[in-house]
Amino acid sequence: MSPTSSHGVQLDLVERPFTERGSRLLVTAAPDGLRVARAEYETPLADTTELTALVLRDASGHPLPVRSATPVAVEFTGGAALLFADPATLVLAGHGARASWRLPDGTGRSLVLDGCHVLHGPPGEWSPPAVRAAAEARWADWFDRMPPVRPDLTGCARTAWWTLAVNLLPFAGREGLVPSKYGYLGVWNWDALFHAVALRHADPALARDQILLLLDHQLPDGRLPDVVHEHGVLADTTDLPRADHARLAEHVGSANGARPERAPVPVTKPPLAAWAVWKVHETDPDLPFLAAAYPRLVRAHAWWFAASDPDGDGLPEYLHPYSSGLDDSPVWDYGPRAEPPDLNSYLALEADRLADIADALDRPAEAAGWRGRAAAHTDLLVARRWDGTRFTTLAAGAPVPVRTALDLMPLFTGRLPTGIAGALERTLRSPAYWGDRPVPTVAFDDPAFDPEAMWRGPVWLNINYLLIEGLRRSGFPGTAAELRERTLAMVRDAGGLYEYWNPLTGARAPRATSGFGWSAALFVDLAAEG
Ligand code: GLC
């Protein structure tokens, strides 16, 4: 580790930009020099560029290239540095070097450094040593909180831990973790829950904030929104950003998502909030938090049965691709509603977690009621959707042939009859799903399998994480351990916290974003187990 407290994290200024907790500013490298852009909801960085072509030269005009970039500073040859003085302020510190850059209107700026110059942000006087010392102290504090992991995972875990910090931004009175400063600027529903799972190890209050931020925006009907962003929430199809209309039309044809103005459809994400609340509580018991969350979680659970079960068979469906969290999954090739077996598995598990919460709040009768519901719901799922060999996925009310990793998710309930749980575990271990890098989101031998297309084959860490838990809960600790090990190795060897990975090569899928929050969060959580 370098003496300048890089904490083992090197920024390449491409996948890993120079940025800061609480800041929307991203510094990246381009052939003509460094550029600074602002990350905003559903806006390409090209539209929010603040300056480009930042280069430093010595007195004779020779370029002074970037020598290293760490969470603390971008260091130039010759001693100058770029630092965050605060989340809104980037300063250039140094003496004698000439800095030049271009503004978006095409005009150029240049000056000879002599102390601390505010490159972007409100005017102010800053002392270079104080700015550097503060940055070092901030990062030392953050890295000190990282849970310990074994040596071969340390490098990747530190990058993941850095990712979690820089993805934190102020939202609606709290600090929320965005999925990626490249493209996902908001607090997404189930992402926030996965982020909370990692933050509980370092800062349980911040973990609770991720969940509360979501619960604070519950709709009057009980639904939790898909996204909380700086302009409001995305909670039905009338809220969808314009770019999504065309994209959705490709995938769901004439589904309502393609025509938001005609028929608003609620948009949410898979129900896992009680699961996350309980995980945070287990790490850092907090009864007032449970008491505040419980009634809201109860209403959120009820919403699925009241508003998202169009055929009224007691097994809710996703009414929109976004609500499934697997927007581009081939289950959506068959129509605008879908019921893969994950949804009702989550709802059963949520009932068990609501029981745990009710017990902790000393409401034993309610707890017993929830446990009864968890059992009954699992029984209903088995009775209606187990066809003797697999759990069927319905799309627009009819069974579809596509086989996805979600078919295995009933393991998550921990309540399946032994024979069925065993059959699912064997399917997972079969060539359809098992390989060096399980679990493909679509079975390897399914005609829809595509190793690089979003949700149509690549490995996603949240699915693996939920399956690992499900395997443990269903009595397969050995397979859970192997899946955990293969998942950690895949992420470590690919070298980045990507959104999803090609299961055949283990490489980043080309369209996957980097610096992805739940990949960072769940990698850390899995790695922290020892
Ligand atoms: C993509 C994913 C969805 C996730 C969102 C934010 O849309 O499909 O599951 O919540 O990105 O990361």
Q: Read off the pLDDT of residues 401-435 as tens digits, 9 standing for 90 and up.
A: 999 999 999 999 999 999 999 999 999 999 999 99
Q: Read off the pLDDT of residues 502-515 as tens digits, 9 standing for 90 and up.
A: 999 999 999 999 99
**460 vs 77: CA distance, rounded Å:** 39
How many Å lie between the centroid of ligand 1 and the Cα of residue 468?
20
Ligand 1 pocket member 184 (CB < 6 A): yes
How many Å lie between the centroid of ligand 1 and the Cα of residue 237?
16
Candidate of 181, 269, 322 to mutate for ligand 1, largest count of ligand atoms within 8 Å of Cβ: 322
The two tokens of residue 498 are: 């990507």
Residue burial 91-123, b: 16+ Cβ < 10 Å; e: rest = bbbbeebbbebbeeeeeeeeeebeebbebbbee
Q: Quick one: average pLDDT of 74-92?
A: 98
46-55, 136-145, 255-264 — which is least confidently predicted? 255-264
Which contacts (CB < 8 Å, 24+ apart) does range 140-149 have?
Answer: 140/5, 140/7, 142/21, 142/202, 143/7, 145/201, 145/202, 145/203, 146/202, 146/524, 147/201, 147/202, 147/524, 147/527, 147/528, 148/528, 149/524, 149/527, 149/528
What pTM value is reported for the model? 0.96
What pLDDT, on the 0 to 100 scale, is given for residue 230?
A: 86
What pLDDT, on the 0 to 100 scale, is given for residue 246?
A: 67
DSSP 333: G
Task: Categorize the per-residue pLDDT at 260 as very low, low, confident or very high, splitting at 50, 70 and 90.
Answer: very low
The two tokens of residue 292 are: 């505040």
Q: Read off the pLDDT of residues 112-160 as tens digits, 9 standing for 90 and up.
A: 999 999 999 999 999 999 999 999 999 999 999 999 999 999 999 999 9
Residue 248, pLDDT above cutoff 90: no
At residue 354's C-alpha, the angle toward residues 352 and 356, to 5°, is: 75
Q: Read off the pLDDT of residues 270-281 as tens digits, 9 standing for 90 and up.
A: 999 999 999 999
Residue with CA at minimum distance from ligand 1 atom 2: 325
Q: Which of 130, 139, 137, 135 is CA-nearest to residue 7? A: 139
Q: Percent of the chain scored above 70 by pLDDT?
A: 95
- Complete edge-to-edge strand list for the sheet that includes strand 187-188: 187-188, 227-229, 232-234
Residue 213, pLDDT above cutoff 80: yes
Residue 252, pLDDT above cutoff 80: no
Residue 1, pLDDT above cutoff 50: no
Residue 3, pLDDT above cutoff 50: no
Residue 254, pLDDT above cutoff 70: no
How many Å lie between the centroid of ligand 1 and the Cα of residue 33?
32
**530 vs 520: CA distance, rounded Å:** 17
Do the Cβ atoms of 198 and 524 come closer than 8 Å? yes
The two tokens of residue 348 are: 């059963």
Average pLDDT value for the chain: 95
- Measured from the Cα of 328, ligand 1's closest atom is 8
Residue 311, pLDDT above cutoff 90: yes
Residue 395, pLDDT above cutoff 90: yes
Task: Categorize the per-residue pLDDT at 262 as very low, low, confident or very high, splitting at 50, 70 and 90.
Answer: low
What pLDDT, on the 0 to 100 scale, is given for residue 7?
A: 86
How many Å lie between the centroid of ligand 1 and the Cα of residue 325?
6
Q: Which domains does the chain have, with CATH numbers?
A: 6-123+130-142 (no CATH), 169-490+516-527 (1.50.10.10)
Q: Quick one: average pLDDT of 199-213?
A: 97
Helix (H, G, I), strand (E, B) or coil at 39: coil
